[in-house]
Structures are given as C-alpha cells and as structure tokens.
Amino acid sequence: MVKESKPIELANGVYWLGVLLEKRLEVNVYLRVFKKGDKTINMVIDPGPPSVFETVQQNLLSLTKDLRKINFTYINHQDPDVSTNVMYLHKYNPALKVICTEDTWRLISFLGLDDANFQAIDKFKSLRGKLSTGHSIRFVPTPFCHFRGAAMLYDESSRILFTGDLFGGITHSPGLFATSVNWHGMRSFHQLYMPSQDALRSAIDSIRSLEPKPEILAPQHGALIKGDLIEEFMGKLYDLPVGWSLLETLVKHKDFYIEAINDILQTISHRIGEDLVTMAINKIESDGTFPNLFEMKGNTVIDIKLDPSKSFKIFLDALQEGQPKENIEIIRNAVLKAAVDWNLPLFESMIDENAKASDLLLIEED
Ligand SMILES: [Fe+2]
Ligand SMILES: [Fe+2]
C-alpha cells in the first residue's frame, strides 16, 4: 500500500518519491535534480527495495520522463531496503554511476554491477564533490551507524542531509514531517539497529559540525525532520543507550529489573487481582519456560536467570493474553511507571509492542 502516490518537492529540485506503507517499516526514496542552463543531472538517493520500485518508477517517470536520464544513484549502505533497486536503474541506464563507499560497493556489486559504474566516496579526500552543473555535494561518513561503510549525503544548496538509517524510525503517524511523538519509534529503531553509542555520538558530532547547518534531515525510514526537532532528536539520540552498551546496561541493571517487575506485579495484584499474576506464572510454568526464566518465592521474583528484558517480555505476554482492554491499560500503565521509577530502557517499547498486538484484537478508542 502506498502512502503517497505523487512526488513531493521538499526544496528546489529535491523530491520525496513516496513510501511504501508496510506493517514493519516505511521506506523513503529521494530524487535530486541538479540543473544549470541546458545541463540536468538526476540523482536517486537510496533507491529502495523492489517492493517499492513501481511507485519509484512512476514518480521518476513523471519527473524525468525517461529512466535512462537517471545519471547517478547515491547509496548510504548496502542493506536490501536501501540499495536493491539500483539493479533496475542500472538496466535502464548501463552507464549509471553509483556513489558509495568502498565497503558498501564490495557488497552491492553482487547485484550485478560493474566496477565501471562505481564512484568511490573514499577517493574524495575533502569529502566534497562538484557536479558538472556546479553544485556541491558533501559526504559525511557515519562508521558503524549502522554499517562500517555508511555515509550520509549532504546537499549543500538545498541544505538537506540524507541520513540513511540514522534518524530513521518506525512510524505510525501519517505526516511527512516528524513531530515530537515520532521520538518513540525513532528510539526503538536506533536501539535495535545502531551497534554502538560511541558511533552514534560520533555521527551526531559530524552533523553538528556541518556548515551551513542542515535544514531538513531526510532519513531512509519514517518521517523527515526539520526545525527545532533536529537538535531535540540529536540530543536525545546522543544519550540513548544502544547496541552493545544497551546490552551491558541491561545486564548491569538486573537488580533494577527484579525490583521493577515486582512493583508491576504488586500493582497488578492490587488493581486487578492476585489471581491474574498466579495465572500468568502457571501459564509460563506449564509450557516449561518459566523455571528457566525466573526464580520465584510465591508471587515475588527473586532472580532472573536469562536476559532480563526478554524474560520480562515473556511474562508480560502471559499477563496480557486474553485480558480485556481495561486490564491491559492497567498493566501498561504499571510498566510505564516502573520504567520511569527504575530508569530502565526498553520497557516502554516492549509494552507498546504488546499494546499494538492487542489493538488488533480490541478496538482502540482513540
Ligand atoms: Fe540499514
Ligand atoms: Fe534501512
């Protein structure tokens, strides 16, 4: 299902080519048209996966009239959701130039591309390029965000920074531009896909040092970001535990998880009834999982045997299964409160995943 079937001009010569609305992740594809006199250069940025090619193709045709006129494609990194459509663009124009890093090229060349198509970012020592139309573009490497060879593209004349997976998010709001509500999906996405907080901080430092400052961040997933939200989201991402440091945090905070889970169980016992807690424990015990996950004394957790967040998620699923909406709301609120009280990452996203699953069965009020 396509969210928008028509291209939207973000700035002079910069087009958003629509996204595919999927259950899992939205994909953004962009076209930059550089023009001077009778010269036109068309560059597709992160051409996307085959599932969105039809939309991309239609929109490119409406803007360029001929897919053989796509001269360049820029690829942030090799993931299939970013790069695969380069195969089709290459079929239309065998002379297509693909701009990416050596590390990315080593992998995407398996899509049937020839070295003659490749223009390596690594060869631009100044990380600046000048097109024959006179326009400047800049390359902003973001190593390990999330791939070793990932690099953002900064279009200086439009002041749009194409960030790839950085600032990407799982979005459930219809707008093209983010509001502060989008933070939630962005946070989960970065916690899942960014391997290192140091790498994330280094990428944000690189963005902060750009002059002139970007006016729009155009990620490959989710909503675009402009205005004060750019600094707001950068600040939040800077302090976000992700990847390896997040795992370490989880291990370090096992005792906090135990306290938090017991707080939640107490609230549920008090608000809904102890039977629900006992029933959830029995449910996990009966499938043979429970003794491996928790050590209990009555209805109190005294130890967690495996990854605390994963173990808790299983418990949470058991607590919520088959419950009416008002009970799920009580459980959700108890988890959110515990997450704040014990300063635990991921609790909120875990409960939201469950809330979403429940919404499929029960009609959401708002
Ligand atoms: Fe990726
Ligand atoms: Fe991606």
CB 163 within 8 Å of CB 204 = no
C-alpha 23 – ligand 2 centre gap (Å)? 15
Percent of the chain with pLDDT over 70: 87
User: What single-letter DSSP state applies at residue 214?
Assistant: P
Using one digit for the tens of pLDDT, what is the confidence trace for 120-150?
999 999 999 999 999 999 999 999 999 999 9
Q: Is 146 helix (H, G, I), strand (E, B) or coil?
A: coil
C-alpha 297 – ligand 2 centre gap (Å)? 44
Identify the pLDDT of residue 290. Answer: 57
- Going by pLDDT thresholds of 50, 70 and 90, the confidence category of residue 319 is confident
Identify the pLDDT of residue 17. Answer: 93
- Going by pLDDT thresholds of 50, 70 and 90, the confidence category of residue 360 is very low
What tokens does 103 get? 């590390």
Question: Mean pLDDT over residues 54-72, rounded?
Answer: 95
Q: CA-to-CA distance for 170 and 47, rounded, in angstroms?
A: 19
C-alpha 140 – ligand 2 centre gap (Å)? 17
Sign of the torsion formed by the C-alpha atoms of 11, 15, 18 and 19: negative
Identify the pLDDT of residue 366. Answer: 61
Question: Mean pLDDT over residues 91-116, rounded?
Answer: 96
C-alpha 66 – ligand 2 centre gap (Å)? 27
What tokens does 2 get? 């396509």
Q: CA-to-CA distance for 8 and 176, rounded, in angstroms?
A: 10
- Going by pLDDT thresholds of 50, 70 and 90, the confidence category of residue 287 is low
Q: CA-to-CA distance for 243 and 43, rounded, in angstroms?
A: 33
C-alpha 77 – ligand 1 centre gap (Å)? 7
C-alpha 75 – ligand 2 centre gap (Å)? 11
Identify the pLDDT of residue 147. Answer: 97
Question: Mean pLDDT over residues 296-319, rounded?
Answer: 81
Lowest mean pLDDT among 19-23, 100-104, 231-235: 19-23
Identify the pLDDT of residue 146. Answer: 96
Q: Which ligand is nearest to the CA of 81?
A: 2
C-alpha 141 – ligand 1 centre gap (Å)? 14
C-alpha 353 – ligand 1 centre gap (Å)? 21
Identify the pLDDT of residue 311. Answer: 77
What amino acid occupies position 63? L
Could you tell me which of 222, 93, 200 has the C-alpha nearest to residue 146?
200
pLDDT averaged over the chain?
87
Q: Is 167 helix (H, G, I), strand (E, B) or coil?
A: coil
Entry field: residues in the chain? 366
C-alpha 143 – ligand 1 centre gap (Å)? 12
Identify the pLDDT of residue 24. Answer: 66
Residues lining ion ligand 1 (Cβ < 5 A) are 79, 165
C-alpha 208 – ligand 1 centre gap (Å)? 22
Q: CA-to-CA distance for 356 and 264, rounded, in angstroms?
A: 20
Distances (CA, A) of 245 to 198, 248, 250, 345, 357: 9, 5, 9, 11, 28
Using one digit for the tens of pLDDT, what is the confidence trace for 218-275?
999 999 999 999 999 999 999 988 888 777 776 777 888 888 889 999 999 999 999 9
CB 14 within 8 Å of CB 158 = yes
Domain boundaries, the chain: 8-243, 253-359
On the question of pLDDT at 288 being above 70, the answer is no
On the question of pLDDT at 44 being above 90, the answer is yes
Q: Which ligand is nearest to the CA of 169?
A: 2
Question: Mean pLDDT over residues 63-68, rounded?
Answer: 96
C-alpha 145 – ligand 1 centre gap (Å)? 8
Class of domain 8-243: alpha beta
C-alpha 80 – ligand 1 centre gap (Å)? 8
Q: Which ligand is nearest to the CA of 146?
A: 1
CA Rg value for the chain = 24
C-alpha 224 – ligand 2 centre gap (Å)? 14
C-alpha 243 – ligand 1 centre gap (Å)? 14
Could you tell me which of 85, 91, 122 has the C-alpha nearest to residue 104?
122
C-alpha 79 – ligand 2 centre gap (Å)? 7
Q: Which ligand is nearest to the CA of 27?
A: 2
- Going by pLDDT thresholds of 50, 70 and 90, the confidence category of residue 1 is very low
Q: Which ligand is nearest to the CA of 24?
A: 2
Instruction: Give strand pairing partners of 294.
Output: 304
Using one digit for the tens of pLDDT, what is the confidence trace for 176-191?
999 998 998 898 789 8
Q: CA-to-CA distance for 174 and 179, rounded, in angstroms?
A: 11
What tokens does 296 get? 């209990």
pTM of the model: 0.74
Identify the pLDDT of residue 332. Answer: 84
Identify the pLDDT of residue 21. Answer: 61
Identify the pLDDT of residue 354. Answer: 47
Could you tell me which of 38, 33, 39 has the C-alpha nearest to residue 15?
33
Say which residue the tokens 């135990």 belong to. Answer: 258
Q: CA-to-CA distance for 327 and 324, rounded, in angstroms?
A: 6
Identify the pLDDT of residue 28. Answer: 94
C-alpha 127 – ligand 1 centre gap (Å)? 22
- Going by pLDDT thresholds of 50, 70 and 90, the confidence category of residue 66 is very high
C-alpha 217 – ligand 2 centre gap (Å)? 15
Q: Give residue 65's region: left, alpha or beta (phi > 0; psi -120 to 50).
A: left
Report for 20-29, 102-111, 275-284: range of highest mean pLDDT: 102-111
